[in-house]
Amino acid sequence: MTDHRDAVLRLWGRQLYERQDEPLAWAEAVLEATGRPPTAVTAAISGRLGALSGSPSDRADLLFRTAAKLAANLRGDGHYDADVGTRIGPLALQLGELEPALADPLGDALGHLPDGRHPSSPSTRPN
């Protein structure tokens, strides 16, 4: 990833997160889009991050844990840094590039891609 693209994605990630009316529901949608079982999503949303220790380690792991940290932060845990939500969009795009089967569900969960198109519009795959 180029430095310019990285900077653009970081800015987009921050703006994407700041636009969320319901950030907890958004985090839950991203968690579900990673393909994890419903029990893992429920544990993450309820703030039981200790339950995640047995989850599989794969390419979706970092995005799943980041969205879980956001959920915990939003529930008032305060243990995680405040900018965790801004990392979700760029991580989801990167995961969609690495795991094409997850690209559409992640695009739908994000709700807005860097070029301004909605995931359901044609040609929404990131370059």
The Cα–Cα gap between 20 and 32 comes to 17
- When pLDDT is averaged across residues 92-114 and rounded to a whole number, the result is 90
CA-based nearest residue to 126, from 10, 35, 11, 9: 9
Give 49-64 pLDDT, tens digit per residue. 766 666 666 788 899 9
Would you say residue 10 has pLDDT above 60? yes
CB of 64 closer than 8 Å to CB of 31: yes
Would you say residue 100 has pLDDT above 60? yes
